[in-house]
Amino acid sequence: MTMTKKKSKGTKEFEKQYEEPETPKSHKAAQETGRQEFKGSFSSKMGELCNNILTAKKGRAAEMRAFMDDFQGFIGDVHEFIAATKNGVRELGEETHDFLRSAEHNRIRGFNDFMMDTKGRIKELNQETRGFLKTSKRNRIKEFNGFMAECRDFIAGTEARVKALGQETKGMLKHFGTENKGRANDFRMAHNTWLKFGKELSRVH
């Protein structure tokens, strides 16, 4: 009679920890068990992946809508800027035309008035000269002195009027040049901005 050696408690726990899994009763049962394990882990991972993809797509769609809204607003601002620039250029042209026409008209009218006044003064001087020659020597000397004083006053007045007319014309031209320079700078900046926008738009396409 053979005696069987009794296993210790520690040996039993070690064997239990590393014992092989129970073998299924049949091949079909083994396939079903493996299929269930694969299906559970695969479906959970696929569900997580799909949720991540949907979340990312929703975020990108929201970012795209926000970008398109900003871009449409930018396009609207550009159209308004172009319209304002066109209006500014048109107003500048109208103001320039009106200024040149009014300045030319005023200068012509002022020159005509000056010539009429000069002709009238020359006529009066001729009449006084003829009268002076017909008077006596004393009266002629007195009248001659008055005549010379009047001539000096006339010359001084004429010079003052010519100087004032020149200063007025110079001031008008200077003011016109300053306005045109400022408008030209504004138009140049608008044109450069439009060219820069065209380059950026071509990069987008």
Do 51 and 94 share a domain, yes or no?
no
Q: Is 10 helix (H, G, I), strand (E, B) or coil?
A: helix
* Domain with 44 in it: 38-67
Do 62 and 133 share a domain, yes or no?
no
How is residue 161 written in tokens? Answer: 């009027």
Per-residue pLDDT at 80 exceeds 80: yes
Do 127 and 63 share a domain, yes or no?
no
Give which of 26, 21, 178 is closest to 99, Cα–Cα: 178
| Residue 30 counted as domain residue | no
Mean pLDDT of 18-30: 52
- The pTM score is 0.26
Do 159 and 59 share a domain, yes or no?
no
The top-scoring range by mean pLDDT among 121-125, 139-143, 149-153 is 149-153
Residue matched to tokens 């209006």: 87
Do 119 and 177 share a domain, yes or no?
yes
Do 107 and 130 share a domain, yes or no?
yes
Of 12, 46, 67, the position where a domain reaches its end is: 67
Return the sign of the alpha-carbon dihedral for residues 181, 185, 191, 194: negative
Do 104 and 177 share a domain, yes or no?
yes
Please report how many Cα atoms fall inside a 13 Å half-sphere around the Cα of residue 105, on the Cβ side: 6
Kindly state the helix (H) or strand (E) to which residue 189 belongs, with its residue range. Answer: helix 137-204
Mean pLDDT of 173-186: 68
Do 137 and 169 share a domain, yes or no?
yes
| Residue 158 counted as domain residue | yes
